Amino acid sequence: MSSPARAFLEPDGRYSNANLRLYSQSVTFRMKDIADDLGLSVVTVSKVLRNHPDIGEETRKRVLKRVKELDYQPNLMARSLVTGRSYLVGLVVPNLLHPFYAEVAKSLSVAIRKNGYSFIIIRQLLARRLDALVIASMGFGGSPLGDVRLDH
């Protein structure tokens, strides 16, 4: 296998943590690297990372161990290109000092992250009295605002 991480395997097949730490600071690992290292398919690694139920417990443990060893971080841009979705939800609030907005932000963040989405908060828009707000969507067809009424 030609994974970049292979160079840091010890003779017994384990990773040298010291060398791997140095290496992982300069290299981005891909799902394919993990799959190659473990002799699995990329689909299997992907299913483990998405907590798919049809993966055996032993395989799941092996993959998650290697993910942790390599400090693997999914490439969100690649994921967006493949799925056509950003997995990003934004909340526009005037400020987070008001308890209502703070609670809304906190509750949304918890619910959104449980479902695999990232969450951003955009503040101070109302306080700055914007003349316009531009929303760009990665969705296909239809208005990104759905049935929201726009006042001129």
Domains in the chain (CATH in brackets) are 4-74 (1.10.260.40), 76-152 (3.40.50)
State the Cα–Cα distance between residues 13 and 63, nearest whole angstrom: 15
Helix axes 17-24, 57-70, angle to 10 degrees: 70
Q: pLDDT for 9-45, tens place per residue?
A: 566 666 555 555 555 555 678 899 899 989 999 999 9
Helices then strands, counting H and E runs in the chain, come out as: 6, 2
List C-alpha distances in Å: 75 to 38, 81, 91: 20, 10, 23
CB of 15 within 8 A of CB of 69?
Answer: yes
Q: pLDDT for 107-127, tens place per residue?
A: 988 988 888 788 888 766 555
Whole-structure pTM value: 0.50
